[in-house]
Chains A and B, each alone.
Chain A
Amino acid sequence: MNEVLGVIGTMLSLGTPLVIASAGETVSERAGVLNIGLEGVMLFAAYAAFWVSWKTGNPYLALGAATLVGAIALLATAPLVIHLGADQVVVGTGLNLLALGITGTLFVQAFGKTGRLVQVETVPTFAGDLGINVVMLVAVVLVVVAWWALFRTDWGRAVRAAGERPEAARAAGWSVFRLRLQAMAIAGLLGGLAGGYLSVAQTNSFAENMTAGRGFVVIAAVTFGRWHPFGAAGAALLIALSYGLQYLIKAYALPLPYQLFDALPYLLALAVLVGAGRAKSGPAALAIPYKEDR
């Protein structure tokens, strides 16, 4: 029983930031913007939250700061990818490198050349060993809101048009630039919250490159979840669950290759892709720059 609770606790703890960021990334990719820089956004935000919690001792303020920093970091690349039509993968990779360099440098500046293991205030948990916290509840709300916004509002229809056939959105009187900018802002805000969660809720510290590829995992979850907020959230939780199982296997030294559980979500993703066949594959205009008002 303890073990089942432990695995579920791990799934929720590791899954929450993935779920939150994937909701934002789903909106953004639906609008046609692929944010490879999500890893960097989360890392910037993780450092911001860590620093604010260290300075003020207030983890909620820290999460707020992280959310803001995430949006600023991602929107800083918006002029390049939206208005100048730069390659989104290249710009995103640049943002990731920048985040690693800047957060690493700030960390060294604040805590010394050889680093320091600092522990900061975190968001409190309840429900005992399960370790539920308020951000997990917020995550559920965010996923539902993302779904509602995308599929139950005019704005959502326009966003999806911007990612499928931007000319159509334009013809209907929407500014594709503005729609994509708004979608990126959402991806930045949620990516920021997810990054902040890493350093002041899931754990209580910062380490250089502590995101450890989670930004890429989020992008994979969005693809796996077929660009739907619920699908992406499910994929994110599945990935987190497979990590939880991995830790359990190691704790019991079971004669199972734990690497299998590392690969499990991706095997499932492949299965989904095969199953989906030639049915709709992602937004048609994903990662394709749009030239507005020629």
Chain B
Amino acid sequence: MKHATVTVGLVLGILAGVLGCTGGSQQQTASETQTDTAAKPVEGTFKVALITPTSVNDSGWSALAYRGLEAIQANLGAEIANVVASTPADIEDAMRSFAQQGFQLVIGHGYEYNQHGIKIGKEFPNTVFVSSSGDKTAPNVGAFRFYLEQATYLLGIMAAKMTKTGVVGMVGGPDVPSIESTFQAFEAGAKSVKPDITVLKAYTGSNDDIGAAKQQTLAFINRGADFIIHQANAAAPGVFEACRERKVWAFGTNSDQSSVAPDVVLASAVIRAENVFTDLARRVKEGTYRGAIELVGAQEGAVNVVFNPKLLDKIPKDVQDLLMQKFDEIMQGKLVVPKLEF
């Protein structure tokens, strides 16, 4: 049974990849004529590809990257394409075929794409391979890491300041380092203001299983949790629904999710990939990109905490003030939020 499921999943991944390709090519636009005279500027059509671990309709991690890709298209007139690839063989196939088709920039949305970028980058020196997180670089291979921990740390402070039960919960989809790191920062933030707080953590193992996310959240609430942060991507409605049924607060992640559940989402930890992606693509287009690992967080305007305007009156003034103060400390570099290296 397990085998059948795995096989089906594999085939589905490929199918999704094919669908993604089609979607991308439909959105192609003619690029502007190049008048740039930088070192090795892109000649002809500027083409940018995005490889995501899951379909970009996940309303979360992959979706935010696709919005970044669309910003590249809008701001730089690039041709864009997107496929889903998550296994090593699929990732390398996708990277190779994009490079062969003359894509100048291939973004892999996850730390797992970094090492494949190094390998394929040697074969295709004229294509830049960038991954979201990673620790390896080459002249045409680099990574940028979203410092979402800064935002989840602040949400942890908020939860710890406002909890009545002294118990808060974190519900994740798959157990991966990028999610674990944001959870650890949330916990660190909570404990920085309330050392005896109980912080519960669980992974459902799935980005799509709304039912599992809901039941896990209910189990946390049964244990007394009155604040829940999630990293469940498309399964997030399950978390919000459980919070609504039991009247506890939730936090959104990756994008501003206030409007998804206006009565339960108090605030969201938000990543804005648009400017980061556009800036990166512009450097590639102008030929000034050099492989590096770039940390992008609050200082770069890529990470923020957004309050739900409808529930602003539920957040005590002193908590709001404390968060503003901590945010300033982060901006000034006085407060360095812990993060995992991966």
Question: Which residues of A are in contact with B by a Cβ distance under 8 Å?
Answer: 2-3, 5-6, 9-10, 13-14, 36, 39, 93, 96-97, 100-101, 104-105, 107-108, 111-119, 122, 129, 131, 198-199, 202-210, 212-213, 216, 219-220, 243-244, 247-248, 250-253, 266
Q: Is the CB of B57 within 8 A of A104?
A: yes
Cβ of B179 within 8 Å of any chain A Cβ, yes or no, is no
CA distance A2 to B165 in the complex (A): 15
Q: Is the CB of A212 within 8 A of B209?
A: yes
Q: Is the CB of A198 within 8 A of B211?
A: yes
CA distance A215 to B4 in the complex (A): 12
Q: Is the CB of B218 within 8 A of A119?
A: no
Q: What is the 8 Å Cβ interface bit string for chain B, positions 56-76, against chain A (1 contact, 0 not)?
A: 111100111011000000000
Cβ of B55 within 8 Å of any chain A Cβ, yes or no, is yes
In addition to A104-B55, A129-B222, 13 A-B residue pairs with Cβ atoms within 8 Å of each other are A2-B222, A6-B219, A6-B222, A113-B66, A114-B66, A115-B55, A115-B57, A115-B59, A117-B236, A207-B208, A213-B5, A247-B219, A253-B201
- Residues of chain B within 8 A of A2, CB atoms compared: 222
CA distance A122 to B245 in the complex (A): 12
Smallest CB separation, B72 vs chain A (Å): 14
- Residues of chain A within 8 A of B209, CB atoms compared: 207, 210, 212
Closest to B82 in A: A113
- Given contacts A114-B63, A119-B240, A203-B214, whether A209 and B223 have CB atoms under 8 Å apart is no
Q: List 24 A-B contacts (CB under 8 A).
A: A14-B211, A14-B215, A36-B4, A101-B16, A104-B19, A104-B55, A108-B57, A113-B23, A114-B62, A117-B257, A117-B260, A119-B260, A119-B261, A129-B222, A205-B241, A206-B210, A207-B235, A208-B55, A212-B206, A216-B1, A244-B219, A247-B202, A247-B216, A251-B216
Chain A at the B interface: mostly helix, strand, loop or mixed? helix
Q: Is the CB of B238 within 8 A of A203?
A: yes
Q: What is the 8 Å Cβ interface bit string for chain B, positions 230-243, against chain A (1 contact, 0 not)?
A: 00001111101100
Question: Which residues of B are in contact with A by a Cβ distance under 8 Å?
Answer: 1, 4-5, 8, 11-12, 15-16, 19, 23, 55-59, 62-64, 66-67, 169, 200-203, 206-212, 214-216, 218-220, 222-223, 234-238, 240-241, 245-246, 257, 260-261
CA distance A39 to B11 in the complex (A): 15
Q: Is the CB of B218 within 8 A of A9?
A: yes
Chain B at the A interface: mostly helix, strand, loop or mixed? helix
Name B216's contact: one of A104, A117, A250 (CB within 8 Å). Answer: A250
CA distance A205 to B146 in the complex (A): 28
Name A10's contact: one of B62, B202, B219 (CB within 8 Å). Answer: B219
Q: Is the CB of A96 within 8 A of B210?
A: no
- Residues of chain A within 8 A of B214, CB atoms compared: 202-203
Specify which of B23, B207, B212, B237 lies most central, judged by the most chain A CB atoms within 10 Å of its CB: B237
- Residues of chain A within 8 A of B222, CB atoms compared: 2-3, 5-6, 129, 251
4 closest residue pairs by CB, A with B: A115-B57, A205-B237, A207-B234, A250-B202
Q: Is the CB of B210 within 8 A of A210?
A: yes
Smallest CB separation, A155 vs chain B (Å): 30
- Residues of chain A within 8 A of B220, CB atoms compared: 251
Smallest CB separation, B81 vs chain A (Å): 13
- Residues of chain A within 8 A of B16, CB atoms compared: 100-101, 104
Name A248's contact: one of B55, B208, B219, B240 (CB within 8 Å). Answer: B219
Name B218's contact: one of A6, A36, A266 (CB within 8 Å). Answer: A6
- Residues of chain B within 8 A of A243, CB atoms compared: 212, 215
Q: Is the CB of B218 within 8 A of A10?
A: yes
- Given contacts A107-B57, A111-B57, A253-B200, whether A101 and B208 have CB atoms under 8 Å apart is no
Name B208's contact: one of A10, A129, A209 (CB within 8 Å). Answer: A209
Closest to B171 in A: A250
Q: Is the CB of B12 within 8 A of A203?
A: no
- Residues of chain B within 8 A of A219, CB atoms compared: 1
CA distance A252 to B202 in the complex (A): 10
Smallest CB separation, B168 vs chain A (Å): 12
Specify which of B63, B169, B210, B215 lies most central, judged by the most chain A CB atoms within 10 Å of its CB: B215
- Residues of chain A within 8 A of B169, CB atoms compared: 251
CA distance A210 to B208 in the complex (A): 5
Closest to A119 in B: B237
CA distance A105 to B67 in the complex (A): 18
Smallest CB separation, B201 vs chain A (Å): 8
Name B202's contact: one of A5, A39, A198, A251 (CB within 8 Å). Answer: A251
Name A204's contact: one of B58, B215, B237 (CB within 8 Å). Answer: B237
- Residues of chain B within 8 A of A6, CB atoms compared: 218-219, 222
- Residues of chain A within 8 A of B4, CB atoms compared: 36, 216
- Given contacts A203-B241, A209-B208, whether A115 and B58 have CB atoms under 8 Å apart is yes
- Residues of chain A within 8 A of B223, CB atoms compared: 3, 251-252
CA distance A131 to B242 in the complex (A): 11
- Residues of chain B within 8 A of A198, CB atoms compared: 210-211
CA distance A212 to B173 in the complex (A): 12
CA distance A198 to B202 in the complex (A): 22
CA distance A9 to B211 in the complex (A): 13
